Amino acid sequence: MSSNKPPRDGLGHQKVKTKGTAGSFRPWSLSRMKSGLGFQKPTRKNARETGIGAAPSMGQVHRMVKNADDRLPIRYVTAAAIFFFGCTCMFVGATSAAAILWWFGGVGGSKEPKTIQFGSPTGASSLPAPEPAEMEKTVTAFLAARSPRDLDPLIRGSSLRPDQIVAQLASLEAEDGKIRSVRYLRPIDSRSARLESVLVTFANGGNRIAFLSPDANKQWRVDFDGFARYVHPSWKKILEGTAGEATVRVQVIPDNYYNGTYQDERSWACFAMPSPDHQTLIFGYAARGTPQHAALVSTMNRAERSAQGGLQRMTLMIRHSGSGDRRQFEITRVLSDDWALGDLPLDDLVAGPGPK
């Protein structure tokens, strides 16, 4: 009784008949290495394997090669060399891949993106932020300050003198209403400075954001200019078109209002710039290919913009051409990707040193 299963050799591997002409070689494989460096050992077939009456097997018949020299030795070492060369290549490739993963944070590297921190002292990136309750306490004390002495340990540097800041804080209730709550928000994903945010809400429904950042002494303080949404000169002069160059704190979103001086969208990129401090929608234009354009586009692509509802807080320098639509301004500098400034303008940070 014959079996339909393919016979097995001494290592337990099934013998598979291959199609082809006499003298053809089967592909080399690691399993065949076990029977002699990739060369198959001849085996004798018994009657059960061949069947009664089958033609006698002559084994593997090699093709005769003209002028062949039967004195040449058989190079058994060739297959071994190929095998060990392949193993070496696999080892080098695996080692290189492991090194790359290690360097970029897989095993031994940092799993956090390596970003340069500006606007904070050396080591501020590793400086732990205060507890939310402590930050709320700092902002509450800042809002209650009524003298430069009270204010001094609570704020970072400002464009205004301490006495001017105290005067504005004293008039805050008359302008925005009574303070309803002081509540911690979240850390801000900014490339300009290390920032934490506290929301101050007022009885009339309005709100302001108090930005806290470490100073040179690694003390977390309030950025007054960001809290006040400070602009220079006043919005009245800016909207009249008589301000020349101005520093503004606005919200920014891409737009497509191409008109007048800025009608060529191949040369200019348009951005709408609303502000909570007036009702006029103004537009800013950055020349394509400039550091300002690069800073704006990269900021629009960051996750922080989504966290702010699509409108990205930014601090810019803008200039009116002196003619045309009063709502249209050229963006001459990109100072920050939020309303608090760092030590370097953002367009310098993004583009590196060079003419602006």
Residue 338 falls within a domain, yes or no?
Answer: yes
Q: How far is CA 314 from CA 10, 301, 335, in A?
A: 77, 14, 8
Type and span of the H or E element at 265: none
The share of the chain scoring above pLDDT 70, in percent, equals 63
Dump pLDDT digits (tens) for 325-342.
999 999 999 999 999 999
Residue 71 falls within a domain, yes or no?
Answer: no
Contact yes or no for 313/195 (Cβ under 8 A): no
Residue 163 falls within a domain, yes or no?
Answer: yes
pLDDT computed for residue 181 by the predictor:
97
CATH at residue 309: 2.40.50
Q: What are the tokens at 154?
A: 């609570």
Number of domains in the chain: 3
CATH at residue 203: 3.10.450
Dump pLDDT digits (tens) for 20-73.
444 444 443 333 433 333 334 344 444 444 443 444 444 444 444 444 444 444
Comparing 19 with 249, which gets the higher pLDDT? 249
The share of the chain scoring above pLDDT 90, in percent, equals 56
Residue 289 falls within a domain, yes or no?
Answer: yes
Same structural domain, 181 and 249: no
Same structural domain, 262 and 210: no
Same structural domain, 239 and 347: yes
Same structural domain, 239 and 224: no
pLDDT band at 241 (very low <50, low <70, confident <90, very high): confident
Same structural domain, 340 and 247: yes
Which of these three, 228, 255, 287, is where a domain ends?
228
Same structural domain, 190 and 286: no
Question: At a CB cut-off of 8 Å and minimum separation 6, what does 68 contact?
Answer: none
pLDDT band at 322 (very low <50, low <70, confident <90, very high): confident
pLDDT computed for residue 321 by the predictor:
85
Residue 181 falls within a domain, yes or no?
Answer: yes
Instruction: Decide if pLDDT at 255 tops 50.
Output: yes
Q: How far apart are CA 270 and CA 287, in angstroms?
A: 9
Dump pLDDT digits (tens) for 86-140.
666 676 666 665 554 444 433 333 333 333 334 454 445 678 999 999 999 999 9
pTM strictly above 0.75: no
Same structural domain, 269 and 335: yes
Same structural domain, 218 and 239: no
Residue 302 falls within a domain, yes or no?
Answer: yes
Q: Range of 142's domain?
A: 124-228
Q: What are the tokens at 84?
A: 């060990």
